[in-house]
Amino acid sequence: MSDLNERIEAFYRFLWPFLAADKARYAYLDEPPGGRPASEFLGEIPARRGVGPGSRLVDVGSGKGKQLVELSRRLGCHVIGLDPLDENLELAAERLRKESLQDRVTLLKGSIGKMPLEDASVDFVWCLDMFNHVEDIDGALKECARVLKPGGSMMNCSAVGSDLLEPREAQRVTYRIGINPDTLSPERMAAAYETAGLHVIECGTTTDEGSPFLEEFDEGMAHHALRFGKMLRARSRVTARLGQDAFELLSAYEQWNIFLLIGKLTYCVWVLERVRP
Ligand SMILES: C[S@@+](CC[C@H](N)C(=O)[O-])C[C@H]1O[C@@H](n2cnc3c(N)ncnc32)[C@H](O)[C@@H]1O
């Protein structure tokens, strides 16, 4: 009990003067923590690994094709966009037509577990924000190593859990949005890279101080917390309009983003090299 009293006393001894202080005194707490846009530091990776005109890069899980355009323009190499969903491939095709990049970018339907690409046929495998959907981690990485030329490189940027993330929270937040919770373990990912013959060249999170991949803080992420709070308070009204299923899906999506905002989840960037046989 006395221990508790000491902690209560210490807490208010700090809190009252802190709250009463002139705002300017603690203005540093609201300063942006630094960093750069992710598109900037991620986009630099392939060139650093020697990708340029004449190279072949595959964007696995290319989605609506935003990166296909940026990578093709920045690197001048041939880009392949691979995605399992027809809707995504159609949206990407439309984007490429608008940007007049149809000749420099090829779209393929497929999954990371079985890519419609020859052995040792690409110089760079690009995986941005897709690996958390992968069920068979070892199989997918083995496939990435298979399509890479010896000495070729890969970039994977996917979410990992921090020590603030509780196992039950991880299960709850991942299930509805189709995420494999095993991909949130940096140790599991490190072991799988090793097994696949992909050597880690660079590694860092997008949130840790001093990380080469520190991303600028996006205050807009706070919107997810505000929306989720409002959804919970008006649960029956929102469910009636949205439907139970969509409510649960959106709840998981908002919580995923809140966890990213408060550091229960972060993105990790791995730059890998296919070990030469
Ligand atoms: C969050 S989106 C990211 C899209 C894009 N990479 C970007 O960063 O804008 C995830 C993408 O991964 C794709 N995806 C899901 N499972 C996949 C798999 N097994 N193999 C390849 N792509 C997959 C989805 O269809 C979706 O386009």
* CA dist., res. 84 & res. 41, Å (int): 27
Q: What percent of the chain has pLDDT over 70?
A: 100
pLDDT of residue 216: 98
Question: Does 193 reside within a domain?
Answer: yes
What is 23-69 written as a DSSP string? Answer: GGGGGGGGS----B-HHHHHHHHHHHTT--TT-EEEEET-TTSHHHH
* pLDDT greater than 70 at residue 125: yes
**CA 84 to centroid of ligand 1, rounded, Å:** 8
**What's the domain count of the chain?**
1
Which domain range does residue 140 map to?
Answer: 34-160+178-214+264-274
Tell me the pLDDT of the chain averaged across its residues.
Answer: 97
**CA 64 to centroid of ligand 1, rounded, Å:** 9
pLDDT of residue 2: 75
Question: Does 148 reside within a domain?
Answer: yes
Q: What percent of the chain has pLDDT over 90?
A: 98
pLDDT class for 1, splitting at 50, 70, 90?
Answer: low
Question: Does 47 reside within a domain?
Answer: yes
- Reported as a single tens digit per residue, the pLDDT across 202-251 is 999 999 999 999 999 999 999 999 999 999 999 999 999 999 999 999 99
* pLDDT greater than 70 at residue 132: yes
Question: Does 98 reside within a domain?
Answer: yes
CATH assignment of the domain containing 186: 3.40.50.150
Question: Does 232 reside within a domain?
Answer: no
Cβ(60) to ligand 1 under 6 A?
yes
Question: Does 195 reside within a domain?
Answer: yes
pLDDT of residue 156: 98
Cβ(81) to ligand 1 under 6 A?
no
pTM to 2 decimal places: 0.95
Question: Does 110 reside within a domain?
Answer: yes
Q: What is the mean pLDDT of residues 187-213?
A: 97
Lowest mean pLDDT among 1-5, 67-71, 130-134: 1-5
- Reported as a single tens digit per residue, the pLDDT across 89-124 is 999 999 999 999 999 999 999 999 999 999 999 999
User: What residue ranges in the chain does DSSP mark as E strands?
Assistant: 56-60, 78-83, 105-109, 122-128, 148-161, 198-205, 265-274
* CA dist., res. 177 & res. 255, Å (int): 11
Cβ(71) to ligand 1 under 6 A?
no
* CA dist., res. 65 & res. 95, Å (int): 7
Cβ(85) to ligand 1 under 6 A?
yes
DSSP-derived pairing of the beta strands 78-83 and 105-109: parallel
Question: Does 26 reside within a domain?
Answer: no
Helices 235-242, 222-233: inter-axial angle, 10-degree rounding: 100
